[in-house]
């Protein structure tokens, strides 16, 4: 029976080959047999690259993975943040694009990026007001608020 069914390059028989064999046995049109089986094109049996589950390529995500989860797992790499040392996942496409654009440093997020740039490029990432250590942007806003409150108090005193 296997001699009648054409094998693919990987040695796996295609479902369309089985449909053609059934069409020959039952004296039906191959296209009608494929339609009754619910296959409109050639569907091969493949092995998922991640979990090695055997599925038909009609059911697979991009014909190499059994699910989107396996596709995501295969195309995700674990990186280490240069600032905080945390290990985090990132899509392989983003890592390749960053390398192609010439980026040399890896951060887990914008906060670590800002802190790293502050430490290595000369911008202080935090400052101290009244003995309390706070971030630079918040410190600037606090100083501006204090100035505005002082001007408001002067304006109110002049009006009275």
Contact between 19 and 37 under an 8 Å Cβ cutoff? The reply is yes
Distance CA 93, CA 29 (A): 45
**Which of 13-27, 32-46, 109-123, 139-153 tops mean pLDDT?**
139-153
Q: What is the pLDDT of residues 71-84, one digit of tens each?
A: 888 889 999 998 88
> What CA–CA distance (Å, rounded) separates 99 from 157?
60
**What three-state secondary structure class fits 7?**
strand
- 23-73 pLDDT, tens digit each: 777 777 766 666 666 665 555 677 888 888 877 766 544 567 788 888 888
Q: Which residue has the higher pLDDT, 154 or 16?
A: 154
**What's the mean pLDDT in 112-128?**
70
| Cα atoms found within 13 Å of the Cα of residue 97, Cβ hemisphere only | 5
C-beta atoms surrounding 83 within 10 Å: 21
Reading the block at residue 76, the tokens are 């995700």
Alpha-carbon distance 19 to 51, whole Å? 28
């Amino acid at each position: 029976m296997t001699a009648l069914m054409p094998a693919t390059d990987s040695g796996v028989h295609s479902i369309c080959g089985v449909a053609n064999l059934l069409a020959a046995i039952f004296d039906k049109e191959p296209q009608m047999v494929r339609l009754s089986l619910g296959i409109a094109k050639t569907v091969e049996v493949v092995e998922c690259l991640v979990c090695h589950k055997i599925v038909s390529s009609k059911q697979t995500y991009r014909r190499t993975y059994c699910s989107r989860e396996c596709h995501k797992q295969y195309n995700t790499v674990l990186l280490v943040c240069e600032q905080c040392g945390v290990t985090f996942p990132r899509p392989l496409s983003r890592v390749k694009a960053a390398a192609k654009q010439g980026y040399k440093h890896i951060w887990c997020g914008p906060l670590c990026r800002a802190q790293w740039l502050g430490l290595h490029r000369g911008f202080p990432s935090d400052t101290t007001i009244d003995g309390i250590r706070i971030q630079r942007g918040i410190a600037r806003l606090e100083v501006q608020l204090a100035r505005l409150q002082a001007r408001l108090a002067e304006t109110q005193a002049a009006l009275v």
